Each structure stands twice: as C-alpha cells, then as structure tokens.
C-alpha cells in the first residue's frame, strides 16, 4: 500500500517539478507582481529538493546538469527568503546558462563531448563523422549558452520584470526550440549524406 502511494506521489510530483523548472520566469513574475513569493518559494524549494533527490538516483550524462539546475533553484529560493530580496531569483536563468556552458564547454576538453555521450545512448557505435558532428553541436550549444546567458544577465540588470519574463520565459525557449529543430534538420542531412 505504501509503495503504491509513493509511486502515485512520484508520478504527480514529476510533472509539477518539470513545470516549475520550465515556468520559473512566469512563477517568479507572478510572485513578484502579486506579492506571493512568501508562499510560492517554500513550495518551489520542496519541489526542487525532490528533483535534486531524483537526479541523484538516476544515471546518465544529464544527471549532473539536473542536479546543478535543481540545486541552483534551491539556493536562490532560500537566499531570497532569508535575505528578503526577490532580485536574486532573477539570476536563475543566468546561473543555469553558466552551469550548462561550463558542463558543455568542459566536455569539449574531454575525450567525449556531452552531445556525443547523449548520442551514444541511442547509437553506441557512432561513426567518425558522427563524432565530429557531435563535437560541432556541442560547440554550437556553448555559443547559445553564452548569448542567452548574456541577454538574461542584461535583463536582470535592466530591472524590468516584464522584459525579464519575456526573454527568459518565452524568447529564450523559442530560440532553444529553433536551435533543436535546426540541429535535427542538419542531422538528418548528415545522416542522408553518410548513407549515400
């Protein structure tokens, strides 16, 4: 009975946690504009701690990223509550982009870049052309994190919560989606060329 209840709770919390991670800018915007951070932040901390625990239990190349992102959210929420400064919460996208840049960039100096590790989960015997391609994709993502993180930092410093929310809650996600779609299209062409 307890195991079934835990399974149901896990299934319910996973979508809520994913929503918190993706909707961070809108949640923070709502909390600031409606003076609701006092009750929102403890709920977010709880969900992020659950996410941190889940990330510790799973394996794979994205585990460190998931742990880092969840820990960043917890630290910023707690610091904001303790210091009573909502401005700290605006830096979440900047810290996440910096964290991702560090992880993707550092992997370029290793024997296997992060995108290659992810690709090898589906295709363990990646051909040499695929290895070169995944290295290039890792470099492109590093460029994206530099640009996105810089603009996110500008929106923090500018001090307009609506502009911050527009960039970090909408434009950045649209650009990320466009990059993913573009990369998928290029990958299909590379695969077709290698097959021909």
- 154 vs 5, residue with greater confidence: 154
- The pLDDT of residue 118 is above 90: no
Question: Dihedral through CA 101, CA 27, CA 20, CA 143, nearest 10?
Answer: -20
Q: How confident is the model at residue 194 (pLDDT cuts 50, 70, 90)?
A: low
User: By the 8 A CB rule, do 108 and 139 touch?
Assistant: yes
- The pLDDT of residue 191 is above 70: no
69-101, pLDDT tens digit by residue? 889 999 999 999 999 889 999 999 999 999 999
- The pLDDT of residue 123 is above 90: no
1-54, pLDDT tens digit by residue? 666 655 666 676 777 777 777 888 999 999 999 999 999 999 889 888 888 888
Predicted pLDDT at 8: 65
CB-based contacts of 139, cutoff 8 Å, min separation 6: 108
CA separation, residue 93 to residues 22, 122, 150 (Å)? 10, 29, 10
User: By the 8 A CB rule, do 116 and 126 touch?
Assistant: yes
CA-to-CA distance for 143 and 100, rounded, in angstroms?
Answer: 11
- The pLDDT of residue 125 is above 90: no
What is the average pLDDT value for the chain, to the nearest integer? 87
Predicted pLDDT at 128: 84
Average pLDDT over residues 171-178: 95
Of 97, 105, 172, 108, nearest to 135 by C-alpha is: 108
Paired tokens of 170:
């909408």
The alpha carbon of residue 187 and the mean position of all alpha carbons in its chain are separated, in whole angstroms, by 22
User: By the 8 A CB rule, do 27 and 65 touch?
Assistant: no
């Amino acid at each position: 009975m307890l195991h079934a209840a835990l399974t149901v709770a896990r299934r319910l919390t996973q979508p809520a946690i994913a929503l918190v991670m993706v909707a961070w800018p809108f949640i923070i915007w709502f909390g600031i504009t409606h003076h609701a951070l006092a009750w929102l932040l403890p709920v977010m901390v709880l969900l992020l701690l659950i996410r941190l625990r889940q990330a510790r239990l799973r394996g794979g190349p994205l585990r460190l990223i998931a742990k880092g992102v969840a820990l960043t959210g917890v630290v910023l929420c707690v610091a904001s509550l303790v210091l009573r400064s909502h401005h700290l919460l605006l830096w979440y996208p900047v810290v996440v982009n910096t964290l991702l840049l560090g992880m993707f960039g550092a992997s370029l100096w290793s024997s296997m870049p992060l995108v290659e590790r992810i690709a090898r989960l589906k295709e363990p015997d990646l051909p040499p052309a695929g290895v070169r391609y995944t290295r290039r994709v890792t470099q492109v993502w590093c460029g994206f994190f530099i640009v996105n993180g810089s603009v996110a930092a500008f929106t923090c410093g500018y001090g307009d919560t609506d502009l911050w929310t527009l960039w970090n809650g909408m434009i950045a996600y649209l650009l990320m989606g466009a990059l993913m779609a573009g990369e998928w299209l290029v990958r299909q062409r590379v695969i077709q060329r290698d097959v021909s």
